[in-house]
Structure formats: C-alpha cells, structure tokens
Structure 1
Amino acid sequence: MGSDDSYNFVFKVVLIGESGVGKSNLLTRFTKNEFNHDSRTTIGVEFSTRTVQLDNSTIKMQVWDTAGLERYRAITSAYYRGAVGALLVYDISKHLTYESAERWLKELYDHADPHIVVMLVGNKSDLRDMRTVPAEEAGAFAESKGLMFMETSALDSTNVEAAFIDVLTAIHRKVASREVTRGSISAVTLSAAASRVGAEAQEEPKRCCSSS
C-alpha cells in the first residue's frame, strides 16, 4: 500500500439528515468497518477519511458528519464548502425523518455546488418489521429530484460500501467530464478545497464538542 498522500483526488462528501438516523454509524462503518451500539448524538463536526481505488485513480474520500440538531446549524456554511457529494440520510422506521428530506435538500442546494452528487439513503434497513417509509415511495421521491437512492444498514453493513462507492463513482465521472469544459472543477481545485476545509475542521470538535 502507498502512503496516505499517494492519491489523485480528494473528494469531500457530507452526511446530512435528522439526528438519530445513523449518520455517524454509516461514517464509522464505511471508514473503519465499526458499529457503535452506544453512539451518542454528534455535537459539532466530525470527519474521517478512506482511500479507495477507482478505475485507474486513487481517491481519498473525506466524509463529514454533523449534528442534525437545530442548535448546531450555525456551522452550515463551513460544513458544505467544497463538498462534491452528499448522502441525505433518513431512518426507514421513522417517517418524520423522511419527511424532512426536502428541507435538507433545499439547505444543501442553498450552500453547496449545484453540481453536487446526492444520494437519498434509507438507513436501518435491518428494522424492516418497523418500516414506515416504503422503499418505492422514497425511490420515486429520489427520482423526481434527480437523486440516487439506496437503502442501507450500518448495523449489518448492508449496502454501506455500495452507497459510498456509487456516490464516489458518480463524482469521479462528473469531474472527469467537466475537466474538459469551461468552468470545470479540476482535480487540483477539488483537492485544495477539501484540504482547506479539512484543516478548518481540525479545530471544530475542540471548540464545539465539550459536554454540557
């Protein structure tokens, strides 16, 4: 394996959605293959990275997770800055978390690049007996908004890898095609943006993650 610096692209991907839908466990399942049964509500911002081989490119994926609680929304601008992908997560057993998807989508498009790749993710598919959001309904909503769609379970790993890799593949495809067009986002631009926002995030947990 090469060193952590041996990559062609850095892509920043954000996790958004209501508190308690499992964003943090999706993050740790994808980046560390871990699941924390006692995970607490995220306070402020956390991010982890994972390097992935895609076609002939080595891509460093920087995945950001933030609190879904209203009182932490002041971090919005810095959180979305430089993001080229987003997973909009809801809990398939809690319809209210799905109903808020449209609001989260509006916030995302208000702050992020209009070409951002977005996947609607119905998490906790292991709770199928408690389902309140039919996959067909969510899939139709995603299609109407031009989003990708997948159901996942951070608990048993179902589709977690596939969700992130599909988003990564779509980002890579967009970047490759846009590099030859006017106003394109180059790999260097993406890398610099991700590195810059990453550096900003280093201090964030120290400022906002102390217990109250």
Structure 2
Amino acid sequence: MKELEPTAETFRELTAAADRLLSDLDTLGDDDIAAPSRLPGWTRGHVLSHLERQVPALERLLEWARTGAETSQYANRRARDAEIEAGAHRPAADLVADVRASARHFQRTVEELPAPAWNATIRPFTGELCTPRRILVIRLRELELHHVDLAVGYDVAAIPATARNIVLDDVLGYYAEAENVPDFTLRDGDGARLARFGSGGPVVSGEPADLLAWLAGRSSGARLDTTGELPVLPPWL
C-alpha cells in the first residue's frame, strides 16, 4: 500500500498535478463539459464533479486523523454516486471554479495537518487501514488519471516521471493484494522486473507509461510486448 511522506516535495507534487489539470480546464465550455469522457458512462462533467466532491470526502478522513473521531469518507457508494451525478450537469464555469477552489482547500488542509495526525490510523472507502500518508497518494493518483480521463489532450505519457512512478507503484500494490490476478511478470522497457504475480507466467514488458495505462484500465495494452497472451486483469478499483 503506497504512502507518501508529508514533505515539501510531496506537497509540490500535489500542487503541480492540480495546476496541470486546472490549466486544461479554462477553455472548456458547457458543450465541452457535457461531452463524453474516456470513462464509460461519464461525461467530463462527471469527472470534474467527482474531483471536486472527492476533496471534502478525503478531508473527512483527515479530520478523523486530527481528532480521533471516526468519520467515514462516504456514507455508502450510493451516496457517493449521487453526489457525483448531482454536480455533473452544472455550468462549466461553476464546475471549474469549484474544482479550483477545492484543490486549494485540500492543499491547505494537508499542509496544515498537525504532525501527530500523520501517524493516526484511518480507513478510506476502499477498506484498507492506513495513515493519512495514503491520502496523499490517492489524491495524486486521482488528479493524474482523471486528468487523462477528461480527454483534453493529456495522456498517461504526459504524466511527469516522478508522479507517474508513484501512481504505478500504487497500482502494482493494488494488484499484489487483489484476487483473481493472473500469473504474469511485469518488466520495463530495459528489462528490469517491476512485479511478479503468482507463478510468473508470461512476461509483459513496455515503457512505464504504457504499463500504467494498461494496468489502470486506460489502454488495451496494444503497445506492450508479451511472451504469451496478454493477461486479462480484474477490474482496478
């Protein structure tokens, strides 16, 4: 389970990811917002609504860490989905403004979190026990991959290497603990082994961006090399 230390460097990574996303939103109009995203069944409005509503959800976990009073990220999946749907059809200017304001608010919240709170145990919606260091990974991952999902010209290959490697490590950590993962070995373009699942099975290799895109369900894996059939992965998150 990937975590990040709450350092100035980490906070800069979060700020940079948010800035990259926000720089691509200013030209979007209402018709653009209503257009399909790369996520099945979601418009760009749904993606932006999710990014905006995710902030108070993550901040509820940070409040849990700060006070010790258990506060769930969401009441349940139905409530989460209803929040996203309710915000998805708002005017572009309102959605973009709220994504911008929420990003600023989250940044202040994590930078001001008291030192003892970073060692508290919390439980995100996905069920794992962790510290708030995990929240830093989740936020970075969501900013980068949902930026890709918006279909505004930003793809996985555009994610800077430091952020990309954090997200890739996180996705690999998920599959290391997931059920029904087929046997295969993952190697980068230089042949270095990144992960081994089960008995090893076929070797799947490629550039880190192409591997991440496939593992995170953002590509078919057509750019990857394999010594056998490309494994069929269980759904990621």
The answer to whether TM tops 0.5 is: no
Select the structure that is richer in helix: 2
Larger proportion of strand: 1
Q: Which has the higher contact order (CA 8 A, sep 6+)?
A: 1
* TM-score normalised by L of structure 1: 0.30
Normalised by the length of structure 2, the TM-score is: 0.27
